[in-house]
Structure formats: structure tokens, C-alpha cells
Amino acid sequence: MKITALILAGGKGERFWPRSRKNCPKQFLSLTGDGRTMIQKTVERILPLVKPEDIFISTNQNYKKLVLEQLSDIPEENILCEPVGRNTAPGIGLGAVYMRKKYEDAVMLVLPSDHLIKDEDTFRAVLSEAIETAEEEGSLVTMGITPTAPETGYGYIRFLREDARKNAYKVERFVEKPDLAKAKEYLADGGFLWNSGMFVWKVSTILDCIERHLPKIYSNLAAIEAAIGSADEEKVLNAEFDTMPSESIDYGVLEKEDSIRVLPGDFGWDDVGSWLALGRMRSLDSDGNLLSGNTVTTGVSDCIIEGGKKLIAAVGVKDLVIVDTDDAILICNKENTADIKKIVENLRNGNGGQYL
Amino acid sequence: MKITALILAGGKGERFWPRSRKNCPKQFLSLTGDGRTMIQKTVERILPLVKPEDIFISTNQNYKKLVLEQLSDIPEENILCEPVGRNTAPGIGLGAVYMRKKYEDAVMLVLPSDHLIKDEDTFRAVLSEAIETAEEEGSLVTMGITPTAPETGYGYIRFLREDARKNAYKVERFVEKPDLAKAKEYLADGGFLWNSGMFVWKVSTILDCIERHLPKIYSNLAAIEAAIGSADEEKVLNAEFDTMPSESIDYGVLEKEDSIRVLPGDFGWDDVGSWLALGRMRSLDSDGNLLSGNTVTTGVSDCIIEGGKKLIAAVGVKDLVIVDTDDAILICNKENTADIKKIVENLRNGNGGQYL
């Protein structure tokens, strides 16, 4: 069966301010030092499994130009722009109806555009088994990540070892982001995986699920599907999204379905949730620093410094993230990266619109 | 007797990098938030006692243009440029021979150009008594500062309470910068003052002392004096400085003289030795921060931030000095401001000449 992919690239990615901006969120940034952006790396990672013309991008008009520039091998008609964000169920459903129209049926990978994976061979091996499972069993397959720490920032998946198809286990239940005590329990238990937000299923399977669990969304999608290729396509898309309910694929479909499979993955996954990810992804110097660009330091340790045009001179500092851009520079304690959102909010609510 | 002043403005002032640069050291910077530079404030502080045409500036050719721009009321011929730095004795002596040529004799204030004084009325009252003492007694008078902390960065002056002319005490001895234990002793003792580097004496007195203690320097100075106003003036100045020994006024004269007076001053003196001085001189916000320029902060305390054109966004940081300029930004732990010199050295020894 044809293998396709839907890359989710509509996120705002404010946690990487001041590099990420309203018009250039995280997925379009190069953060790994190799000059490739997150979305380019996402696509390149699956090219051994999926042809460029079978890759679809779910985004919106604000980012269409960036997608075209950064992913020149992907046909323009595969760039699907949601008129308005309605969470993941409508976005994934939209990809699915475009695929049904083009291929009748296919195996569909659903992948975020802003994650990193160190061990790509292992990733593709797990993905291949997910594809086989989704195709042969007709099940919804999620990619789980073997936890390495009691993370409180991720959702967890409880799986049943006794119900397995090779390495694909039956999901017992999805668990919301836990507090630290619960997270420690889950880690010790061994029966929990992180929810990565990567899915594999047949187009027919997911649309069938949406039809059963989210009938209003399904009818909106069916109306759009009928208009694909017609002169009315854009008008219908706008009108249907206007009345489309907002719903996540996790809550609206996965948590309501009974037979979902999860494949445990151990391939150096990182959701790149904050500037601290750079320190995990790249090698540090002997003082624990990650320095790039125009910097001069003395007595500096455990810092991440991304220099720009201006010389950054750091003296006697520790555990800071310093990021220079043309019009703004961030100086953030490593423990407080979550508060970068507060800065973005302050700028939005004040007179800082030019920095968003 | 005529009252004159010699303002010492030849220093390099690297401790205020990146604001201070090779071509614009600390004395020419505005650091107090009132738009006036250190040397402008130094001159304005003494204007009730000294006329602008009787104020001389000791500097060098690199800074002459800055002096002219910043001190437009001072006659150009009063700007004395040393061809080469030979420490303070030749610099002060040069001022003295120009004054002897012009006034025969005068009381001469010698003042650094990069200190700050909060209580200027008290300062001028102490200065007036110093002038009276120097004129009537013919003594060398130094301005001492009543210590408020066991500072290890200053020299100290031990004075004799029993030998006093009003508030001017006889100096027992000068003491080098002490270690912390010694500094604590001096503070507790009560018989020690900080050496401020501000002096008052008659032109005739200091030249007589230089002649006795530093005869080679005196003969160089006398040759220069003879050429003042002649066509050879600059040629002679260059030639004499070429063979001039290097010597400080403290070591070369003051420590060798027997009858020196010190006037204890308690007028909010600050030698502005590092960026931390800004936090002492200006009022802080309720989080202990001194913020200026283009900044946005969250969870920031006890920081000094001098913003420039670029937006500085600080998150969760404490005890930092952050200074933005057009081509460089400093991020320095408050405990490590002395290491800013290391950065300047690194730039000088490396490829950072453009930032000096």
C-alpha cells in the first residue's frame, strides 16, 4: 500500500523566542548547528520510506512561503493551509481526505515538524513496524518513547505487555501530564511510555474513526473532500472550517478507541521543548558550555550561548541561556526557560509588537 | 592667591568596557543617568571655586578632541597633552610649570577626572580648607576619605590626630592596598583614611618638592617651561618626555616628604572603579535592579542592565551586570567585574581589535 506522511507544521513555537517569531516559529529554525531546519530534518528523516510527492504539510497561510522555500521538493498542492486552527483532529482529518481523494487509501504517518531524533535508523525500523501493523491489522498505531526520566511535561501511555503483535503493544490507557511523584511511579513501573504525538494508521481507518466519534467534523471534512479540485475548493474549505468544532485527535479519537497499538521507541527522541534541548543535542566544551557565533568568555560554565552579529562577552556566569538576534537578546536562567512565554506575553500586551 | 586646577584625564578606563573604549575611556562617559560625563561633572563640581580659564586638563592627543567637545568653556591652550605616559609626577609637574609660566604662583588643585561625589557642598567646603592650608602653611595637602568599609582596592593614609591645623592632620604614613584582614584593622582603628588621589598645593611648593626629590624630572620640566610659547614648544615637549623618568607623585614625592597634611572628607566619594558603582550611585527599583534603556524582564533581581538599541530580555537572573552597546554586549556576574580586564586582554591579543 502507498505510504504517505502528514507533517504538522502549524505551531507557534514561542518557547524559542527571540529566534522564533510570529512569522518564523521553531519548526522553521535551524537549531542543531548543521544548517538544516527542524522541518527539513523531519522530512529528510522519512525520505527512505516516503517519496517527496507523497508528503503533505499541514500548516496555514502565514507559513506557506516558508514551507515552499524550505521544502522545495514537496509539490505546492501538498501544502494544506487550515483557514483557522481547530486543534489536531480537523488538521489530521483534512490531510486524510486529501489523501483519500488522491490515493483512495494509503498508510499515513502523522509527524510533528519540530522534534529531533538522534538514531534515525532505529526510528525508521520502528516506523516500518508501525506501518506494517497499521496496514495488516487496520489498527491505530502510536509511537511511544521509552522514558529516561520522570518528565512532567509529557503525557504518558500505559501499555499491556500481554497483548502484543511483535513489538506493538495494546494501549491500556492514555495518561495526562503527571506531577513529579506520579512521573516517578510511571518511570519505575516500566509499563508506561511517553506520548510522542507520532501516529501511523491507514487513511481509511482514521477517517472511519473520525466519522464514528466526531461526526460533525467528519461531515465538514466530507464537504471539503467533495470540493477538492473544483473552483469552489478554497471557498468551501473556509466555510467548513468556520463551523468545524475544535478537537484534539488524542481526546476526540484515541482515548475513545478500544484497540490502539503503541510501539516503544528508543531512538534518542527529543521534543525540543526549550532552549535547554540544544545542550542535550550538541556536544559541550570542557566547561559544559555550548558556544556558537561571536562570543568571548572568561570563567563561564554550563551556559548555552548563541551569538549573532554582536560580540557577546560573558564573564563569570553559570547556567545561563544567552541568545542574540538582530533586534533582541535573551538572557535567561536555565531554570526559568518556561518563563520566556511571559516575556512574549509582556511584549504582546505592551508596545513590543515589533519583537513578536 | 589665584586658584587653579589640573584635571587628570589620561587614563584608559578599561573596567567600563564595553562602554569605555580605547578612544573613549571612562572619564568621557556619561554613567550617572543625567547625561553629563564624568569629566564634565568633575569640572562643574569645582566651578564655584575655580574659573574655567584657570582649569587645565592633563591628557594626551588621543583624547584632546573629546576634551574640547565636552569642555567647551576651557581654553584650548589649557589642554596639556603628554607625548607619552610617564605616570603622575611628570603629568602633574607639566601642569605646574605651565601654571608657573602663566601665574608665577597659584594654589593648584589636582583632581582625577573619573570620580563621583554625592555631597558637593561638603566637598567644596573641605576643598576650601585644603586651599587655605596649602596657601597659608605652604604644605602638601591630600584629600582623605573617611572609610566606610574594609576596602582592599584603595591605598590608606595613617594620620596623627595630635598634630592638626583645624581639620588638616599631619600624615604619619601612606599604606599600600591592604589585604582584607589589614583593611578591617584600619577600619576599626579609626586613624586611617582612603587615599583619594586628590591633592591641593601651591605650584611653588610642588615644583620645589619635585626639584628636591626628582631632579631629573625637574630638569626636563624646566626645559619645557623655557620653551612654552616658543616655536619649539612641541619639539621640546616631545624631546624632554622622551628622556623623562616614569614616576608616581605618591611614591616619588609624597612618601618622601615629611610634613604632609590630610583632610578627612565624608562627602559620598566614589572612585567608580567598576560597573557596580552604578548601583551605588543611582536608585534601584523594588527588586534591587537598575534598569535603563530597552529592557523587558521577568523574575529578575539585583541586576544592573544598561540597554541600548537592541531589546534586552532578562528572565530569572540575579546579580548580573548587562551592558549593551552597538557592537558588543557584556553579561557579567557582579562578583567578577574585575575579570572584564581579561576580556579586554583576550580581545587585544586575539582578533578583537575592533572592539577595543
Q: What is the pLDDT of residues A287-341, one digit of tens each?
A: 999 999 999 999 999 999 999 999 999 999 999 999 999 999 999 999 999 999 9
Q: How confident is the model at residue A193 (pLDDT cuts 50, 70, 90)?
A: very high
- Are residues A201 and A223 located together in one domain of the fold? yes
Do the strands A107-112 and A192-202 form a parallel or antiparallel pair, or are they unpaired? antiparallel
**Does residue A333 belong to the interface with chain B, where contact is any CB pair within 8 Å?**
yes
Check residue B291 and give its pLDDT. Answer: 96
Q: How confident is the model at residue A148 (pLDDT cuts 50, 70, 90)?
A: very high
- Residue of A331, A333, A341, A344 to mutate, testing the B interface (most B Cβ within 10 Å of its Cβ): A331
Mean pLDDT, chain A, whole residue set: 96
Put simply, the answer to whether A315 touches B343 (Cβ < 8 Å) is: yes
Radius of gyration of chain A (CA): 21
Helix axes B38-46, B120-137, angle to 10 degrees: 60
Q: Is the pLDDT of residue A41 over 90?
A: yes
Min Cα–Cα distance to chain B from A62, Å: 25
ipTM topping 0.90 = no
Q: Is the pLDDT of residue B230 over 90?
A: yes
Q: Which spans in chain A are helix H?
A: 38-46, 61-70, 88-103, 120-137, 180-189, 203-213, 215-227, 233-243, 249, 276-281, 340-349
And the C-alpha cell for B143? Answer: 584629600
Residues in chain B: 356
Last-in-domain residue among A240, A270, A300: A270
Put simply, the answer to whether A311 touches B329 (Cβ < 8 Å) is: yes
**Contact list, B343 vs chain A (CB under 8 Å):** 296, 298, 313, 315
Q: Is the pLDDT of residue B315 over 90?
A: yes
Cα→Cα distances B205→A143, B200, B236, B263, Å: 90, 10, 24, 18
Under 8 Å between Cβ of A254 and A120: no
Min Cα–Cα distance to chain A from B22, Å: 17
Put simply, the answer to whether A313 touches B298 (Cβ < 8 Å) is: no
A249 CB neighbour count, 10 Å cutoff = 24
Put simply, the answer to whether B314 touches A335 (Cβ < 8 Å) is: no
Check residue A13 and give its pLDDT. Answer: 78
**Contact list, A299 vs chain B (CB under 8 Å):** 333, 336, 339
- Are residues A91 and A181 located together in one domain of the fold? yes
Mean pLDDT, chain B, whole residue set: 96
Section A231-246 average pLDDT: 97
**Does residue A296 belong to the interface with chain B, where contact is any CB pair within 8 Å?**
yes
A100: nearest Cα among A1, A198, A241: A1
Section A170-192 average pLDDT: 95
Q: Which spans in A270-351 are helix H?
A: 276-281, 340-349
| Separation of alpha carbons B233 and B226, rounded Å | 9
- Are residues B213 and B315 located together in one domain of the fold? no
**Does residue A346 belong to the interface with chain B, where contact is any CB pair within 8 Å?**
yes
pLDDT, tens only, A152-169: 989 999 999 999 999 999
Q: Is the pLDDT of residue B122 over 90?
A: yes
Query: First CA to last CA across chain A, in angstroms?
Result: 44
Check residue A218 and give its pLDDT. Answer: 98
Check residue B293 and give its pLDDT. Answer: 92
Look at the block and give the residue holding cell 568571548.
A296
Say which residues have a Cβ less than 8 Å from residue A340's Cβ, sequence separation at least 6: A14, A15, A17, A274, A275, A330, A332, B313, B315
Section B149-153 average pLDDT: 92
Put simply, the answer to whether A328 touches B310 (Cβ < 8 Å) is: yes
**Contact list, B342 vs chain A (CB under 8 Å):** 298, 315
Q: How confident is the model at residue B332 (pLDDT cuts 50, 70, 90)?
A: very high
Q: Is the pLDDT of residue B14 over 90?
A: no
Check residue A281 and give its pLDDT. Answer: 84
Residues in chain A: 356
Structural domain boundaries enclosing B7: 3-270
- Are residues B337 and B261 located together in one domain of the fold? no
CA trace torsion B55, B56, B59, B65 (10° rounding): 70
- Are residues B144 and B249 located together in one domain of the fold? yes
| Separation of alpha carbons A115 and A45, rounded Å | 11
**Which residues does residue A21 pair with via DSSP β-bridges, in sequence order?**
A24
Section B27-31 average pLDDT: 94
**Does residue A91 belong to the interface with chain B, where contact is any CB pair within 8 Å?**
no
- Are residues A95 and A63 located together in one domain of the fold? yes
**Which residues does residue B298 pair with via DSSP β-bridges, in sequence order?**
B315
And the C-alpha cell for A132? Answer: 506494517
Check residue A259 and give its pLDDT. Answer: 85
Q: Give the total number of structural domains in chain B.
A: 2
- Are residues B175 and B101 located together in one domain of the fold? yes
| Separation of alpha carbons B30 and B308, rounded Å | 14
Q: Could you tell me which chain B residue has the CA closest to the CA of A320?
A: B317
Q: Is the pLDDT of residue A195 over 90?
A: yes
Check residue B253 and give its pLDDT. Answer: 97
- Are residues B210 and B296 located together in one domain of the fold? no
Last-in-domain residue among B270, B305, B338: B270
And the C-alpha cell for B223? Answer: 626645559
What is the 3 state secondary structure string of A102-169?
A: HHCCCEEEEEECCCEECCHHHHHHHHHHHHHHHHHHCCEEEEEECCCCCCCCCCEEEEEEEEEECCEE
A338: nearest Cα among A11, A16, A22, A50: A16
Q: How confident is the model at residue B281 (pLDDT cuts 50, 70, 90)?
A: confident
And the C-alpha cell for B186? Answer: 584600619
Check residue A339 and give its pLDDT. Answer: 96
DSSP B13-37: -GGGTTTSBTTB-GGGS--SSSS--
Under 8 Å between Cβ of A140 and A206: yes
Q: How confident is the model at residue B21 (pLDDT cuts 50, 70, 90)?
A: very high
Q: The CATH number of the domain where A253 resides is what?
A: 3.90.550.10
**Does residue A35 belong to the interface with chain B, where contact is any CB pair within 8 Å?**
no
Share of chain A above pLDDT 70, in %: 100
- Are residues A322 and A250 located together in one domain of the fold? no
Q: Is the pLDDT of residue B133 over 90?
A: yes
Size of interface A-B (CB pairs under 8 A): 122
Chain centroid to Cα A219, Å, comes to 26
| Separation of alpha carbons A282 and A284, rounded Å | 6
- Are residues B60 and B22 located together in one domain of the fold? yes
pLDDT, tens only, B205-228: 999 999 999 999 999 999 999 999
Check residue A63 and give its pLDDT. Answer: 96
Q: Could you tell me which chain B residue has the CA closest to the CA of A296?
A: B343
pLDDT, tens only, A76-96: 999 999 999 999 999 999 999
Q: Could you tell me which chain A residue has the CA closest to the CA of B354?
A: A311
Section A64-68 average pLDDT: 97
Using left for φ > 0, alpha for ψ between -120 and 50, and beta otherwise, residue B104 falls in left
**Contact list, A337 vs chain B (CB under 8 Å):** 315
Q: Could you tell me which chain B residue has the CA closest to the CA of A326?
A: B310
Q: How confident is the model at residue B300 (pLDDT cuts 50, 70, 90)?
A: very high
Section A135-148 average pLDDT: 96
Q: Is the pLDDT of residue B317 over 90?
A: yes
**Does residue B356 belong to the interface with chain A, where contact is any CB pair within 8 Å?**
no
**Does residue B298 belong to the interface with chain A, where contact is any CB pair within 8 Å?**
yes
Min Cα–Cα distance to chain A from B279, Å: 18
Check residue B32 and give its pLDDT. Answer: 87
- Are residues B297 and B234 located together in one domain of the fold? no
Section A56-63 average pLDDT: 96
- Nearest CB among B296, B317, B350 relative to A333 is that of B317
Q: How confident is the model at residue B50 (pLDDT cuts 50, 70, 90)?
A: very high
**Contact list, B333 vs chain A (CB under 8 Å):** 299, 315-318
**Does residue A319 belong to the interface with chain B, where contact is any CB pair within 8 Å?**
no
Chain centroid to Cα B15, Å, comes to 14
pLDDT, tens only, B177-208: 999 999 999 999 999 999 999 999 999 999 99
- Are residues B327 and B240 located together in one domain of the fold? no
Check residue A334 and give its pLDDT. Answer: 97
Q: Could you tell me which chain B residue has the CA closest to the CA of A17?
A: B313
Last-in-domain residue among B244, B270, B296: B270
| Separation of alpha carbons B263 and A125, rounded Å | 84
**Does residue B311 belong to the interface with chain A, where contact is any CB pair within 8 Å?**
yes
Section B320-347 average pLDDT: 96
- Residue of A291, A329, A332, A335 to mutate, testing the B interface (most B Cβ within 10 Å of its Cβ): A329
Min Cα–Cα distance to chain A from B290, Å: 16
And the C-alpha cell for B170? Answer: 599631619
Check residue A32 and give its pLDDT. Answer: 87
Check residue B13 and give its pLDDT. Answer: 78
A9-13, A195-199, B182-186, B250-254: segment of lowest average pLDDT: A9-13
| Separation of alpha carbons A295 and A275, rounded Å | 18
Secondary-structure breakdown of chain B: helix, strand, coil percentages, each rounded to the nearest 5: 40, 25, 35
